[in-house]
Amino acid sequence: MSAVSEGARKNPAARREAAWLFALALGLRLLVVAFAHRRFPPADDGTFYHAVAIRIAHGAGYTWAWPDGVVTYAAHYPVGYPALLGAVYALLGPSVLSAMLLNALLGALMVVGVHACALRSASLGRARLAALAVALHPTLILYTAAVMTEAAAASVLVLLVSYALSLRDAPRGWLWRLALGAGGALLVLIRPQLLPMMPVLGAVAISVPSGATSPRAFFLRVRGGAEVLLVTLACCAPWTLRNCAKMDGCVFVSANGGWNLLIGTLPEGRGSFAPIAGATVPRECREVFGEAGKDRCFGHAGAERIRAAPGAWLALAPQKLGQLFNHGAIASAYLQTSNPSLVSDAARVAIATVETLYSRLLLLGACVGLLRAASARAGRALALLAAAFTLSPWGAAAQLSLLAGLLFERPEPGRRPFLTLAASLLAMCVVTHIVFFGAPRYALIWLPWLAWLAVLPRQSGRTEQARGAAGELPARVF
């Protein structure tokens, strides 16, 4: 870590700044809560999360009550977010107000996490800019009203990254990584597709002694990644065992992976969600009613469609990535679905325009940050290409160019851990949504990282790069 960033983090001014950034972010989100809690009921998947959270708060567990009075165990959606809601509902009462208050707190903590991580590679002023970019993001502010999982997952991931980087700064034993694995379990129970990030976080969290040989450093990082992954899986195991015991088949976290795989093969979805109903229900699945069994059946049907026509499936990839990255209509879409009488089509378009423009400016800042920090000529060229696409309708092309630029920088946990984490997350988002399907809200997990990339420090020369290639370089966090 550089002396500048180390001093900035230990400066009392940095702690005071984190406090007022938290207060600012929380205050803005509480304004949304005050306005929205009586006007915007749960919508889309939030209807299910809210209903299940009420049952959890009342001690009925993750179960579903059908109109005829039958109650069944459920695991269609991940349990993490409704479980958090259930705990808050038990304390504050089962209302949308309670859900929005939880979202506001998580959103404010995300801003503090962004500030803390930015201080590890940037000055106090640049870290402040990164945190303000997240605190003032219109999508993140307005999405406080959404009883949905994406912002919660983004907040938990940011806090885990901050904790992992703090572990990297000082030699600590494996017990300290237990908390990282336990937090990782919460993240996975909210958003299971983030499981591959756990070993990367574990590898980054390792503090390798100075002078350690490259093989020794590699072994320590592999061990750290394995430890965090195993703790995460162990903490998720009770939920998996519950599913095996209570449902019609074992389910790791949620029984919707097969659904999503099949949806991702349907051309009528144009790369996004399409309902599985009527003619789109595979014939062999029409008499399968158990939640786990139906998910397996849909998954097999989706895999068979891919095997039968891999070209047609791959041809949907540009549409899927376009749905994911081309625009930022996240909060606007949810608000209109929740209350169409209050959010008209014109209002939705206006909000979506502000969301998209802000996100594109943040993406442009990330491209400039990578251009400033890149050590490879190819990395700089790809950062420029990404910046050019940022000014076009093709946001997905900008994100893919940014990912390529990150990869050309050859990130690895010891030399440039933040770039390692950023490249891993963006690559995981791209691959996940090529396999399944895309929607703008799924890209929300990536938004805070654009602010971090925007404040990357300038490349200081090839001497440092050469030293990093030979071994560990604790001074480089980005």
Lowest mean pLDDT among 166-175, 240-249, 307-316: 166-175
| Length, in residues, of the chain | 478
- Cα 76 from Cα 420, distance rounded (Å): 32
From the list 446, 426, 456, the residue with the least C-alpha distance to 359 is 446
Cα 149 from Cα 159, distance rounded (Å): 16
Gap between the Cα atoms of 318 and 333, Å rounded: 22
The percent of residues above 90 in pLDDT, for the chain, comes to: 81
Higher pLDDT, 413 or 72: 72
Chain centre to alpha carbon of residue 318: 21
What does DSSP assign to residue 393?
Answer: S
pLDDT at 207: 82
- 475, pLDDT greater than 60: no
User: In sequence order, what are the residues at sequence separation of 6 or more whose Cβ sits closer than 8 angstroms to the Cβ of residue 377?
Assistant: none
Q: At what angle do helices 345-373 and 331-338 cross, to 10 degrees?
A: 160
Within a 10 A sphere around the Cβ of 109, how many other Cβ atoms? 18
Residue type, 429: C
DSSP character string of 291-357: HHHHHHHHHHHHHHHHHH-HHHHHHTHHHHHHHHHS---SHHHHHHHH-TTTS-HHHHHHHHHHHHH
Please report, as a single letter, which amino acid is at residue 52. V
Provide the pLDDT confidence category of residue 1 given band limits of 50, 70 and 90: very low
Nearest-10 crossing angle of helices 447-454, 345-373? 40
In whole angstroms, what is the distance from residue 151 CA to residue 422 CA?
A: 17
Mean pLDDT of 107-127: 93
Enumerate the H helices of 136-169 as residue ranges.
138-142, 150-169
Angle between helices 197-205 and 214-246 (to 10 degrees): 140
Q: Which 3 state secondary structure label does DSSP give 395? A: helix
Give the residue ranges of DSSP H helices in 409-457.
417-435, 447-454
pLDDT of residue 478: 60
Q: How confident is the model at residue 469 (pLDDT cuts 50, 70, 90)?
A: very low
Q: How confident is the model at residue 116 (pLDDT cuts 50, 70, 90)?
A: very high
Residue with tokens 């990395």: 379
What pTM was computed for the model? 0.93
pLDDT (tens digit per residue) in 429-451: 999 999 999 999 999 999 999 99
User: Distances in Å between the alpha carbon of 379 and those of 152, 253, 403, 433?
Assistant: 32, 38, 10, 24
Interatomic CA distance for residues 451 and 446, integer angstroms: 10
3-state DSSP assignment of residue 232: helix
Structure tokens at 126: 């640049």
- In a 3-state reduction of DSSP, which class is residue 192? helix
Taking phi first (over 0 means left), then psi (-120 to 50 degrees means alpha), and beta for anything else, what does residue 284 get? alpha
pLDDT given for residue 109 in this prediction:
98
Instruction: Determine the Cα–Cα distance for residues 463 and 471; give it in Å rounded to an integer.
Output: 13
Q: Is 270 left (phi over 0), alpha (psi -120 to 50) or beta?
A: left
pLDDT digits (tens, 9 = 90+) for 288-334: 999 999 999 999 999 999 999 999 999 999 999 999 999 999 999 99
Q: In the structure encoding, which two tokens stand for residue 468, read together? A: 């990093």
- Model confidence at 211, in pLDDT bands (50, 70, 90)? low
Q: For 6-15, 125-134, 276-285, which range has the lowest pLDDT when averaged over its residues?
A: 6-15
Q: What mean pLDDT is predicted for residues 253-274?
A: 95
Find tokens 């995981």 and name the residue: 428
Element (H, E) at 65: strand 63-65
Q: What is the pLDDT of residue 416?
A: 86
